[in-house]
Amino acid sequence: MSTAQDPATAAPAPLDPAAAAGALALGDDALVLSHRLAEWTGHAPVLEEEVALANIALDLLGQARTLLSLVGDEDELAFLREERAFRNVQLVEQPNGDFAHTIARQLYFSVYQELLYGQLAAAGEPSPLAPLAAKAVKEVAYHRDHAEQWTLRLGDGTETSHARMRAGLDALWRFTGELFRPIGGLAVDWAGLEAAWLAAVGGVLERATLGLPEGPRGTGWSAGAGREGVHTEPFGRMLAEMQHLHRSHPGASW
Amino acid sequence: MPETITERGRGPGAEPGPRSRTGAGTAEDAPQATAAFEAKIAADERIEPRDWMPDAYRATLVRQIAQHAHSEIIGMQPEANWLTRAPSLRRKAILLAKVQDEAGHGLYLYSAAETLGTGRDELLDKLHAGRQKYSSIFNYPTLTWADVGAIGWLVDGAAIINQVPLCRCSYGPYARAMVRICKEESFHQRQGYELLHTLAHGTPGQRAMAQDAVDRWWWPSLMMFGPPDDESAHSAQSMAWKIKRHSNDELRQRFVDICVPQAEILGLTLPDPDLRWNEERGQHDFGAIDWTEFKEVLRGNGPCNEQRIGRRRQAHEDGAWVRDAAAAYAAKRARAAESAEAAA
């Protein structure tokens, strides 16, 4: 997947601690969401979605590997950290639910990632994550398009699909506030990011005959918690499954 | 000359109607068309979707290609079973890419089957109803991570031996699908071998895991070549039609001869006390296959038959509302486009 010529993986200069914390947060986001999407394999509603969801999962896993490798050993970071040491937002760790729930999570997150990587890529050289962002933003634009197309189909499809899409969007809404909590070390205009995100998601949902959910976008408990290592209950179980084999054979290489 | 009869009589435009019926054999033109068909087969030319073909040739191909397509998508399950537990991110990425390829292979093959006048939905319904089969191998469970490597080495290896000759199959769309599929399969096979090699040269625990996986997958892999030649119902006709190029036993022997030195390099043993080089034949002798087990698995009584088909049915049923939504949305878009056109 990545090659020696790939600017995203070419011998990176060591990151300063603040930038490393930023890379870890974004790497964990991609790693965890990739894992959730991989859980769809063999369960998708049509074969084309088996391909699409695995494809997106693979892109995200590639991003995670690049980001985690900037911080340390990718496998040590993925398989030997405990729940409280993960820095991903709670949104990405939420269980898949039905297809609409998964698509709602994809819409919220891929729009966020596209805008965020867009800003990081535009920051250019001073940002150590700029090369990765420049590559990833192309992948993420595809993920966003996929989520957007399905949001339109489900929202403006049948009564059932409309209701399910509505339910998915509403259930995940409270996890979206956390996305815009500034991550130290990343040169991002967070307020601008949030405004752009609301406009983009709102635009898609309007076309999908849905509209933005009502209600809070994050309580005092949940907002920012994932970035500090405080997660939701399903996350520990996900990690148990993900890590058990690696942990069962200490020191082995695979 | 026989070909021009085919072209004129049954070719494009000669008989309007659904694609599914072009080239269907009818009584009155049968002798001429049959002669043309047989001449093409004899000349190693490809049969294409609009060409006339005997009904039995069409039916055999539909059965075989559908079964092949079903095997690709059922075959995602035993490997996906380990996706969420892969022990390194590199291995996880490789496995994810592989199952994605398998879904893609399923798509190619359903498309190839559709050129014969059937539909993917119809074929999936038959799979779900148990009226069409998939490869017996996917009814075995993946119990450890090493099974992912054993599947890559042995199962994909056996599939390649079976499939490479299909690249020269007489039916064009199938042959072309196989060319693409074989390229990707070879890649998977090498990755599986490398996975197993790493385990076999790793810790004692990893090594034991690798040997156990090979012990469990060896015989089921040999069964992938189908029943012995004297019991293979479709073989003679399929070979005459050049759908098949080699007999089951020939391909099985080739597989054994390839695997023995590979197992040596891995430093693993194959679980067959009768396996030995036969100087006279220039091939390996090997032990008897448990054909009772093979028949039981084909009958639906293997370790995972119910689980595999149950999962597939469940995914299909759970996804019905999604497919309905996509269809409803497409219909709304089409109506909107129509009225926009009418207004213009």
Task: With beta carbons under 8 A apart, name residues in chain A contacting B119.
Answer: none
Is residue B13's pLDDT more than 60?
no
Q: Residue A11 — pLDDT band, cuts 50, 70, 90? A: low
Nearest 5 degrees, angle CA B71-CA B75-CA B76? 130
Distance CA A76, CA B66 (A): 43
Q: Residue A13 — pLDDT band, cuts 50, 70, 90? A: low
| Per-residue model confidence (pLDDT) at position A221 | 61
Backbone φ and ψ for B278, nearest 5 degrees, come out as -110, 105
| Per-residue model confidence (pLDDT) at position A218 | 76
Task: With beta carbons under 8 A apart, name residues in chain B contacting A41.
Answer: 76, 80, 83, 96, 99
Is residue B216's pLDDT more than 90?
yes
pLDDT average, residue stretch B268-275: 98
For chain B, say whether A42 makes contact (Cβ under 8 Å).
yes
Distance CA A37, CA A40 (A): 5
Is residue B314's pLDDT more than 70?
yes
Q: What is the mean pLDDT of chain A?
A: 92
Is residue B39's pLDDT more than 80?
yes
Is residue B30's pLDDT more than 80?
no
pLDDT average, residue stretch B187-206: 97
pLDDT digits (tens, 9 = 90+) for B316-330: 999 999 999 999 999
Total beta-carbon pairs less than 8 A apart between chain A and chain B: 144
pLDDT digits (tens, 9 = 90+) for A223-243: 568 999 999 999 999 999 999
Is residue B20's pLDDT more than 80?
no
Distance CA A6, CA A4 (A): 5
pLDDT average, residue stretch A178-193: 91
Distance CA A240, CA A248 (A): 11
Is residue A184's pLDDT more than 50?
yes
Distance CA A123, CA A128 (A): 9
Task: With beta carbons under 8 A apart, name residues in chain B contacting A244.
Answer: 85
Greater pLDDT, B342 or B24? B342
Put simply, the answer to whether A55 touches B77 (Cβ < 8 Å) is no
Put simply, the answer to whether B84 touches A39 (Cβ < 8 Å) is yes
| Per-residue model confidence (pLDDT) at position A126 | 74
| Per-residue model confidence (pLDDT) at position A187 | 85
Greater pLDDT, B27 or B343? B343
Lowest-pLDDT range, A62-71, A116-125, A187-196? A116-125
For chain A, say whether B315 makes contact (Cβ under 8 Å).
yes
Please state the pTM of the whole predicted model. 0.92
